[in-house]
Amino acid sequence: MTSSVPRSRTSSVSRRSLLRVLGGGAAVGAAVGALAGCGVPAAYIEPGERAARDRSRRDRTLTFANWPLYIDTDDNDKTKRPSLDAFEKRTGIDVRYTEEINDNDEFFGKISPSLMNHQETGRDLIVISDWMCARFVRLGWVQEMDRARQPNVTKYLDPLLRSPHFDPGRKYTVPWQSGITGIAYNKRKVGREIKQVSDLWADDLKGRVTLLSGLDEAFALLLQGDGVDIRKWTADDFHRMCDKVEKMVNSHHIRRFTGNDYIKDLSSGDVLACQAYSGDVIQLQADDPDIEFVVPEEGAELWAESLMVPNLARHKQNAERLIDYYY
């Protein structure tokens, strides 16, 4: 969830408020898990209840929900997407493409009420991070794909990605992109190189730094910057880092916690340094060569995001065809 700490209401932020800001969607996830205990039908959807009558053959369209800056655009016209245009021309399928996913937890909160109540989401294809994909697969909220319709996926999918722990055999997901979560900054305005996480806390960057709102992403970077092996972190490590972040928030050094909207902050100059995704920065650099991306010396998180077809999607075959086209 994209949020900022409400300064007008308090001069300081509590541990509970901080965790709410960082992991806004966690409350939604917890609520989903608690439904069965409150007399509400369990959120899990059985395999036989996930498919709707597919309209792909007579309705040549599909709705594709993605993140900003996550598909190719024409150099001279950013509203044009050459690969999608080519797919539409080749197949006659009209793709309704939306850049509505700003944050994993925020998007989960947006569509989970429909999915848990066995209702259509209005989307045929979505892209979210693998750790969130695991939640969707576990809850039975996505449909198994028909690999007979996806010969390119079968042939070209990297063997190392064919059977992740959350989706053995890749029945429900197909990788879309992968990258690194690191630090982006405006080298000209900062006036020096940023090499370490600790460089974010320099006095002249006060109020010009943002972190990602995903608790796992923000704390992975910060814990590594504090010398912690994130494969073996402890409760003491976590609480120590909470104390540090609280201090940075209360002093207004951290401007806010963001989803993908850090892109606008960095482009406008409102923010000079931020936690960022490598793929976004590559696209930003095309318009502003002063923007740099760095993997901190302490290390960074490698991530992947995958395509899924949500339950009751009305154009599943069209979605499967688009996935195979990109492979």
| Digit-coded pLDDT (tens) for 183-233 | 999 999 999 999 999 999 999 999 999 999 887 788 889 999 999 998 899
Q: What band does 18 get if pLDDT is binned at 50, 70 and 90?
A: low
- Residue range 273-316, pLDDT digits in tens: 999 999 899 989 988 999 999 999 999 888 889 999 999 999 99
Q: Would you state the pLDDT for residue 17?
A: 54
Mean pLDDT of 166-188: 95
Task: List, in order, residues 6 or more apart from 204 with CB less than 8 Å away.
Answer: none
Whether 13 maps to a domain, the answer reads no
* Mean pLDDT, residues 234-258: 94
Residues 6 or more apart whose CB falls under 8 angstroms from that of 41 comprise 35
Q: Report residue 4's pLDDT band, with 50, 70 and 90 as the boundaries.
A: very low
Q: Each residue of 155-169: pLDDT tens digit?
A: 999 898 899 999 999
How far is Cα 145 from Cα 150, in angstroms, rounded to an integer? 9
Residue 128: the pLDDT is 96
Q: Is residue 8 part of a domain?
A: no
Reported as type and span, the H/E element at residue 175 is: strand 174-186
Question: Does one domain contain both 185 and 297?
Answer: yes
Domains held by the chain: number: 2
pLDDT for the residue 216 = 79
Q: At what angle do helices 15-22 and 215-225 cross, to 10 degrees?
A: 110
pLDDT exceeds 90 at position 21: no
Supply the pLDDT for residue 224: 92
Shared domain for 143 and 90, answered yes or no, is yes
Residues 73 and 171 in one domain: yes
| 45 plus 170 within the same structural domain | yes
For residue 2, is it within any domain?
A: no
Whether 37 and 158 map to the same domain: the answer is: yes
Average pLDDT, the chain: 88
Quickly tell me which residue has 């006659």 as its tokens: 92
- The pLDDT assigned to 301 comes to 83
Quote the CA–CA distance of 196 and 296 in Å, as a whole number: 5
Assess whether 271 and 319 both reside in one domain. no
Structural domain range at position 252: 180-303
* DSSP one-letter string for 303-320: EEEEEE-BTT-TTHHHHH
Residues 50 and 161 reside in one and the same domain: yes
- Both 212 and 286 in a single domain? yes
10 in a structural domain: no
Same domain, 159 and 284: no
Domain of 243, CATH number, reads: 3.40.190.10
> Does residue 89 sit in helix, strand or coil?
helix
* Distance of alpha carbon 117 from alpha carbon 199, whole angstroms: 47
179: β partners: 303
Using a cut of 0.75, tell me whether the model's pTM lies above it: no
Using CA atoms, how far apart are residues 279 and 66, in angstroms rounded to an integer? 14
One domain for residues 172 and 310: yes
Query: 63: buried, middle or exposed (CB in 10 Å: 19+, 13-18, 0-12)?
Result: buried
pLDDT value at 100 more than 50: yes
Question: Is a pLDDT exceeding 70 seen at residue 235?
Answer: yes
Query: Rounded to a whole number, what is the largest CA-CA distance in the chain?
Result: 61
Q: Both 118 and 84 in a single domain?
A: yes
Query: Do both 164 and 31 map to the same domain?
Result: yes
Q: Mean of the pLDDT values across residues 107-119?
A: 96
pLDDT at position 223 is: 93
Asked which of 35-49, 97-111, 239-253 is least confident by mean pLDDT, the reply is 35-49
